[in-house]
Every structure is written in structure tokens, then in C-alpha cells.
Amino acid sequence: MNTFEKSQAIRNQELQATKNVENFLSTIEKSNPSINAFIGINKEYALSKAKEIDEKIKNGEEVGSLAGLVFGIKANISVEGEIISASSKTLEDYRGSYDATVIKNIKDQDGIIIGMCNMDEFAAGNSTENSYYGVTANPSAEGHIPGGSSGGTAAAIGANMCDIAIGSDTGGSIRNPASHCGVYGFKPTYGAVSRQGLLDLSMSLDQIGPLSNDISGIAMALDTIISHDETDCTSLNIEFPVFTDIVNQSQEKIEEDMKNMKIAHITQFKDITDNNINNVVDKSIDKIKDMGSEVVELSFDYVDLCLPTYYLLNYVEFFSATRKYDGRKYGYKIEEVCSEEVLRRIEIGSYISQQEFSGKYYKKALQARSLIRSEINKLLESVDLIMGPTVPNLPHKIGEELEPMEAYAYDILTVIANLAGLPAGSMKAGEYNGIPVGLQFQAKPNDDAKIIKAMTALELLG
Ligand code: GLN
């Protein structure tokens, strides 16, 4: 039963929302002590909300599209009454005083929030080893990192602790852990989902999005969280298609749509990726060819520019975002309690922001970003989608020490979508030695539906 079918079963009283919550609570009780996906659980709230929904359904009252489905939320998205620590000691006692717009949307549709998920501190990282609450284990690859920074949300999905999880993606933080944990993860077009209520890492790159075990869960979440929001000045005001309808189209229609798709893979993406990953991804490319899509190989010559551009902008924007954590209004002064990685970003961000240096580095990074954006969009003029690996390396073993540059290199294939504001999704392509390998699709801004279509086709026919 996929997530959409489960929502129908709840509506038809074949499954009680209460039972759904209880099942997840028992899995969490059993597995969370070893996996550490959740760092906060609100059992009473989830059960009482479920009871309320069951009651409404029994009485024939109208319920929302997510009625009875259970959500895990990354600990940097504000949920009223919950601890919103961003996995940092800085905010260990900080309780959300309001619901982020995405949370409001989910609650309006009767989704049930069960708890808050672990992450790299302030979303700075890609392994979830860098959390004040300890590392999260990868439920799909024992002993390996789950990826990050939304590692807790991906592990919660991988370990069946909730139906849908909501993460944030600044340079890959939804897609990277989705890839390492073998689940679905989607970063929408920049501006499609409101960032109001998200503790920002780098505001011009941050985007909230869903993770789930099937494409219907992703689609249902997107239909709910995509909305125009006047309180977020970067929020788009455009109509997106109903993603759940795309996922539920007939097989014939999906097959027909795939025959009309033109999809590229990129030479340079392959060159920088582990061959064991390429071999798995190539099989997905073959499946797409078998569906009748036209597959072409294209060249993107700016790969080397992407990481320096991304990290420079990230450091500067993060430095500015953290100035409010001065220990006066809430929590601790960030520099006094944060991890080495967060401090590195603050210090270098501060240095680059100084008048005499900002022109030298920051302005150049902005120019490089425009170049990357226009070049990747040029490629996307000639094709519907770009497909390839999500992460160039397999998840390393927990505790293996990486130099900052080695760690940053894991992000090379995901930062492009953030720099250019593109939608991008990751799904499991297969495994190497029992370790999940992710496949990434990217499209032009606002073409999120094309990615959903291709992912649906692979889920159905792959
Ligand atoms: N790993 C990247 C970074 O550390 C991306 C993080 C993210 O997407 N939140 O900046």
C-alpha cells in the first residue's frame, strides 16, 4: 500500500488514523534508540489529533487531503510548542512560538506531526554526524552515515517511523540523505514553498521539501506545502499542476508521456562519480531508454566552479543569519557553543563580508552564480530533464574523519540546483554492496511536474 492508498484507507475507515500513529510510535520506540532519527516526539499530541480525525471520519465530516498521515519535521522548521534546536546547543531550549507556513498547510490538511528530526547543526553538513544530539544511523546501510543535513528525516522514512518527512535543502540536504538512505526526496523550484518559519542556513539557496518511501507521498506533500505566501518575499505566485493527479495517472498515459520526453545525462557528472555508482545509475538510464524517451549526452563545463561558488555564498549568508544568536534574546551565544564546522562558516563568512574583501570574493561568487545559472538553463532549453547520480560517493562509515574539502565534495552534484533555483528529486536507483545508490533528476524552474512524471514512471515500470 503506498502513501496515497493509505490515505484512502484511512478515509474509508479501513485503517484508523489512531492505529497508524500507534504503529509508528511502536516502531519509534523500538528503533529510535539505535537510529536516533527523532530528537523530539510528541506522543500525546499525535494520538489526540488522530482520535479527532477518526471521530470526524466516523461522523461523515469533511477531512483534509493528508488526514491521518504521520509527519516527521526537521528540527529547523518552526512547529508551535516543539523544541526547534536546529540540532545546536545554541537553541537547545528554544520552543517554536508559531507554525511555519508549511506546518500550517500540513495541519490544515489534517496531517499529524509526530516529532522533530535530527540534522547537522544549523543544516551545515552532509552526514548528520555534526549534531549536538549525536549522530543518526543509516537504517539502510549499517555502520554508514545517513547523509545530511536532513539525515534524521531520511532515516525516519527509511526506518518506517512516519509516512512523510519535511526537510530543507540548501545544497542537497534533502536529496543527499534520500540518496544514502534509499528513499525519495524532492527539492522544489526555489520560491515554490514558503521559507517562512525555516531557520535559514543560506536564504538565497534554502528550500523546504518532502521525503517519503514512495512518489505518491512526495506528490501529496508537494500539493500541500506549495503555496504563495506574502510573508516570504521570495515566494512564487504561480499555479503548479496537481502532483497527486500525475502520480495517479493510468499506466498508458505515463508510458505515452515518457515517449515524448528528452532526457540528458552529463559527461562531467559521470567523470567525477564513483564507478560503482555510475554502473547502477546507467541501468536506470537504460530503463528510461526502454520507455522510449530520447536520451542524449551533454557537456556542462562549469562543474569546477560550483562548489567554491556555493560555499562562498553559503558562508556569507550564514554569517549574517547567525548574528541574531547573540545569547540575548534566546539560547546561548552561537560562537561559544557551536561545532567547529559552524564556527568555520561564521569566521570565514565574517572575513569575506568585511568591506575590503566583499568585492573581491562575494561579488565574484555572485557573477559565477549567474554564469552557472544561465549555462545550466541553456542545457535545459534543449531537454526536459537532466538525470544522473545524486551524490558522487557512497556514504562513508560513521566516525571516518574527512577533511572539510573532502566532505564538501559530496555536494558537487546537488548544489547546482540550488545555485540555479531548479527543482530536483532523488530516488533509489539500486544498490552497490547492499548500500543504496540515488538517482537525481533536475528540470527547469517550475517544471517540477516533469520530474514527478519520470520518477513515477521509474517507480511503476522500473
Ligand atoms: N552540505 C551542504 C552544506 O553543508 C548542504 C547543506 C544543506 O543543504 N542544508 O552547506
The string of pLDDT tens digits covering residues 150-161 is 999 999 999 999
Q: Which protein residue's CA is at the shortest distance from atom 5 of ligand 1?
A: 171
State how far the Cα of 193 lies from the Cα of 210, in Å rounded to an integer: 11
Judge whether 302 and 375 are in contact, CB under 8 Å.
Answer: yes
125 CB near ligand 1 (under 6 Å): yes
Residue 196 has pLDDT above 80, yes or no: yes
173 CB near ligand 1 (under 6 Å): yes
The atom of ligand 1 lying closest to the CA of 150 is 9
Residue 355 has pLDDT above 90, yes or no: no
Quickly state the pLDDT bin for 285 (edges 50, 70, 90). very high
- How far does residue 287's CA lie from ligand 1's centre (Å)? 31
Question: What was the pLDDT predicted at 189?
Answer: 98
Report the helix count and the strand count for the chain, using DSSP H and E.
18, 11
Residue 201 has pLDDT above 80, yes or no: yes
- How far does residue 95's CA lie from ligand 1's centre (Å)? 24
- How far does residue 176's CA lie from ligand 1's centre (Å)? 9
Residues 6+ apart with CB under 8 A from 97: 78, 80
Quickly state the pLDDT bin for 306 (edges 50, 70, 90). very high
411 CB near ligand 1 (under 6 Å): yes
169 CB near ligand 1 (under 6 Å): yes
- How far does residue 309's CA lie from ligand 1's centre (Å)? 13
Percent of the chain with pLDDT over 90: 98
Give mean pLDDT, residues 131-149: 98
Residues involved in catalysis: 74, 149, 173
Question: What was the pLDDT predicted at 359?
Answer: 83
Question: What was the pLDDT predicted at 357?
Answer: 80
State how far the Cα of 123 lies from the Cα of 151, in Å rounded to an integer: 10
Q: What is the pLDDT of residues 360-416, one digit of tens each?
A: 899 999 999 999 999 999 999 999 999 999 999 999 999 999 999 999 999 999 999
Best probe residue, ligand 1, of 118, 122, 176 (max atoms within 8 Å of C-beta): 176
Q: Is 443 exposed, middle or buried (0-12, 13-18, 19+ CB in 10 A)?
A: buried
Q: Which protein residue's CA is at the shortest distance from atom 10 of ligand 1?
A: 124
Q: What is the pLDDT of residues 61-101, one digit of tens each?
A: 999 999 999 999 999 999 999 999 999 999 999 999 999 99
State how far the Cα of 222 lies from the Cα of 187, in Å rounded to an integer: 10
172 CB near ligand 1 (under 6 Å): yes
State how far the Cα of 128 lies from the Cα of 177, in Å rounded to an integer: 9
Residues 6+ apart with CB under 8 A from 250: none
The atom of ligand 1 lying closest to the CA of 418 is 8
Residues 6+ apart with CB under 8 A from 335: 343, 346
149 CB near ligand 1 (under 6 Å): yes
Instruction: Quote the cell numbers at residue 271.
Output: 567523470
- How far does residue 161's CA lie from ligand 1's centre (Å)? 24
- How far does residue 408's CA lie from ligand 1's centre (Å)? 8
